[in-house]
Amino acid sequence: MIRPSLIALLIGILLAASQAATVRSTAIVDLGFNEKSGPAVDTATGGQANNTGRLLAGARRVPTPFSTTTGGRALLLEAGRKQFVQVPNSPDISRGKAVSVAMLLINFHAANDAGTHGLFGKRSTDKASHSNYGLNFQPKTDLIQFYVNDGTGFRIVHYSVKSLLGVRQRVHLVATMAVGDAPGADKDTDHDDVRMRLFINGQPATRIGKPGKDLAEGTDIWLLDLKTTALTNTAPLTIGASSTAIEHFSGIIDEFQLFDRELTANDAATLFSEVAGADAGKRFSQDKQPVAGLPAAPQLATTSLRGLQIGQTTRLVLTGKNLGPNPLVVAPFAGLQSKVVAGSNAGKLTVDITLSKTAPAGLFPLRISTIAGLSNPLTVAVDRLPQRPVGTASSAAPSPLPVALSGMISGAEISRGHVRAKAGQRLVADVEARRLGSGCEPVVEIKNALGTPLAIEWSKVPLRGDTRAEVTVPADGVYTIEVHDLSFKAPGNSPFRVKIGDLAL
């Protein structure tokens, strides 16, 4: 009779053998993001270190959209908030000979997004940007960049964003690199070349662009003659950004693994099934439209003001779609803080924006960031002028000077703002319309209280199609600034901002 203890031992051996047979079990870093809170715990049985992933800048977990089972979690990242995961440097993530990185992801960046966004990177922040390995992408140019950098410059293999990542589609990505000696055309026998491979949903991806210094062998790409000993660095591994400081990503990431070897094509296909399910290929191939259940990307339509005042707080009323939850105002300069006012909703967002005293002057794109990604931009001006809607500067309550009045015109509409000025004062009315993206051809008129025109100007080439009028005020009183389209056929809701006062232009 076989003893129960022997049976238990045999079962244990068989289970261990079964587990060892999986590709995932050979990972040396494995972050599943299934914890309720706190850092991502490394569940890999291999490896030399405890490779905990720190969730930074408020990165948070959401129910996973990748699995058909309930209870799993994934990581939601917002580029506008510069959220990412950081894994400290260790012998496991610093790979001198070979590495494979695998992850599930959904990209939230629209096809016209001109920014660069990192999925992962072990990239130093010094001037040379030594990169052990990294992958980023730019939707507008349709370029995925899988790269290394030995200190002499980036060596890159390009792939198509549209073909491989899409927008708001489920993707399993495996990127591998291994040091070796390239076959054939390589003139030496030194192990100073790096083979790069990319797999999407278990299938090998084909690079785009001309080979350059590289050697193509099917879908394998060899980067020739590198200083391979200089690839490793002491930088942390970042997930959802190219480094701790740059190229942040908006989307969902799940099931991140790192291997100390080059995964084969069969390994990549097997791992895809292991982490996403045996039917994942069929499910993921149906994602020609955005994955069901994901929040829609925010869309901006209008803003009550087209200007922000340096060193002050300006209240904007923004309209659009999907402007929540947890909206954040994003602009490409430092010194901006925003606070959403109570009563805001997904269609109308009231926000107080405070600029530091050192904020730069100029024209800048303003966007809204939510968990679903970044909105389209609306151009706003930043300067030291008080900002008001044009409708608040009435003849009964004219605005003091200087001031910037914002408004919109459609068709034959004439927008009028009223200001109080003194005799002998220089009065300039500078219209920003085309510079804000407006479709109208602006005309500006300065009139006295009786409606007599004192100055009228049309579009000017140096102002990029905008216009400017100037007078010396003849007498104390109220003056009217009129803005209309040259043909009185302004496209609907054409925005403008007119700066008024003794302006140094």
Range with lowest mean pLDDT among 2-11, 89-98, 303-312, 464-473: 2-11
- The reply to whether 187 falls in a domain is yes
Residue 293 within any structural domain of the chain: no
Q: Are residues 359 and 419 in the same domain?
A: no
Which element (helix H / strand E) includes 500?
strand 490-501
* Final residue of a structural domain among 340, 360, 383: 383
* Whether 339 and 436 share a structural domain: no
* Domain endpoint, select from 349, 383, 417: 383
Judge whether residue 15 has pLDDT over 60: no
Q: What confidence score (pLDDT) does residue 190 get? A: 73
* Burial class (CB within 10 angstroms; exposed 0-12, middle 13-18, buried 19+) of 424: exposed
- Residue 8 corresponds to which amino acid? A
* 357 in the same domain as 277: no
Select, from the ranges 6-10, 416-420, 462-466, the one with the highest average predicted confidence (pLDDT): 416-420
The CATH number covering residue 349 comes to 2.60.40.10
Q: What is the pLDDT of residue 284?
A: 86
> Considering only CA atoms, which of 387, 413, 362, 353 is closest in space to residue 498?
387
- With 80 as the cut, is the pLDDT of residue 376 above it? yes
Do 253 and 169 share a structural domain? yes
> Do 234 and 218 share a structural domain?
yes
| CA atoms of 47 and 213, how far apart (whole Å) | 34
Cα gap 502→383, rounded to integer Å: 15
Q: Would residue 407 count as lying in a domain?
A: yes
The verdict on residue 29 lying in a domain is: yes
Identity of the residue numbered 108: F
Any domain includes 210: yes
CATH number at residue 274: 2.60.120.200
Query: Which among 453, 446, 442, 431 is positioned nearest to 480, based on CA atoms?
Result: 446
- Are 164 and 57 found together in one domain? yes
Same domain, 183 and 314: no
Query: Are both 280 and 309 inside the same structural domain?
Result: no
CATH number at residue 462: 2.60.120.380
Using a 10 angstrom Cβ sphere, with 0-12 exposed, 13-18 middle and 19 or more buried, the burial of residue 225 is middle
Summarised one tens digit per residue, pLDDT across range 138-180 is 999 999 999 999 989 999 999 999 999 999 889 999 999 999 9
Kindly state whether residues 188 and 77 are assigned to the same domain: yes
Overall domain count for the chain: 3
Same domain (yes/no): 397, 319: no
Residue 64: band (very low, low, confident or very high) from pLDDT cuts 50, 70, 90: confident
Indicate the range of 90-94, 265-269, 290-294, 382-386 predicted with least confidence. 290-294
Last residue of a domain, one of 349, 367, 383: 383
Bridge partners (DSSP) listed for residue 490: 411
Q: Are residues 41 and 120 in the same domain?
A: yes
Residues 351 and 401 in one domain: no
Report how far residue 430's alpha carbon sits from residue 405's, in angstroms, rounded to the nearest whole number.
Answer: 10
Percent with pLDDT over 70 in the chain: 92
Predicted confidence at residue 5, as pLDDT, reads 53
In a domain, 11, yes or no: no
Question: Mean pLDDT throughout 408-418?
Answer: 97
Q: What is the pTM of this model?
A: 0.66
Q: Tell whether 5 is covered by a domain.
A: no
Q: Does residue 205 lie in a domain region?
A: yes
Residue bearing tokens 């056929």 = 489
Q: Give 443-486 pLDDT, tens digit per residue.
A: 999 999 999 999 999 989 899 999 999 999 999 999 999 999 99
Range of the domain at 267: 23-287
